[in-house]
Amino acid sequence: MNRKDIYKGIPFDKIPWKRETPPDILINTMSLAPLSSHLLDLGCGLGHYAAYFAQKGYKISGIDISHTAIKYAKQLFETKKLKGDFYGLDLCKPTNIALPPIKLAYEFEVLHHIYPEYRERYVQNVCKLLSEKSYYLSISFSEKDQNFGGKGKYRKTPIGTELYFSSVKEVQDLMSKYFRILEIKEIELEGKPIPHQAVFCLMQKVKF
């Protein structure tokens, strides 16, 4: 896992995933969550997607391991006069934060930062943060991607991180222990400079 703060030492305008507007696939999933319900942005980064959804009328909490990113997200919300709660936390470690009932949690391009040996803990922690019937969307890089950092499972990126590229089966095996999987598929994501192949997994927390 890349435990370091990946926002340190890289100018914010050079961050490859920095986008003000969420991708359509994330926006479309919000049809599951009525306006004014509470969303949880896991690995929220600089908070732009959280701000987009807060502006639409959702309540929002964001968590990220990077304190640099959390500071930026808080400032962004202050500047835009939005309400949101942000926490600088490692989702691979247990946490005691108390969140309101979450209608939908999403992690966009986060799971590939979590190496296989940490994933069980990560998903257990996410599961504890969610309420019964919460929806959970995970979108992370797929091993089917032919263009990004080679063809292996672990791939180095231009900003010096090393990411783990999953198969659909790996995500399914991991998530199905804790969540009911509603839909899982390979998708193509817009990327800089070329699109990325990703695993889309939409789930719901139910009693087993």
Task: Summarize as ranges the residues that interact with ligand SAM (CB under 6 A).
Answer: 6, 17, 43-45, 49, 63-66, 69, 90-92, 108-110, 113-114
Q: Whole-number minimum distance, CB 193 to ligand SAM, in Å?
A: 16
In the complex with ligand SAM, the residue whose CB is nearer, 20 or 132, is 20
In the complex with ligand SAM, the residue whose CB is nearer, 69 or 201, is 69
The Cα 63–Cα 122 span in angstroms is: 13
Report cis status (omega within 30 of 0) of the bond before 101: no
Q: Whole-number minimum distance, CB 204 to ligand SAM, in Å?
A: 21
Q: Whole-number minimum distance, CB 116 to ligand SAM, in Å?
A: 13
Residue appearing with tokens 């600088």: 88
Rg (CA), the chain: 16
> DSSP string spanning 82-124?
---EEEE--TTS------PPPSEEEEES-GGGS-HHHHHHHHH
Q: Whole-number minimum distance, CB 148 to ligand SAM, in Å?
A: 12
In the complex with ligand SAM, the residue whose CB is nearer, 33 or 51, is 51
In the complex with ligand SAM, the residue whose CB is nearer, 118 or 180, is 118
| Cα dihedral across residues 31, 33, 34, 40: positive or negative | negative
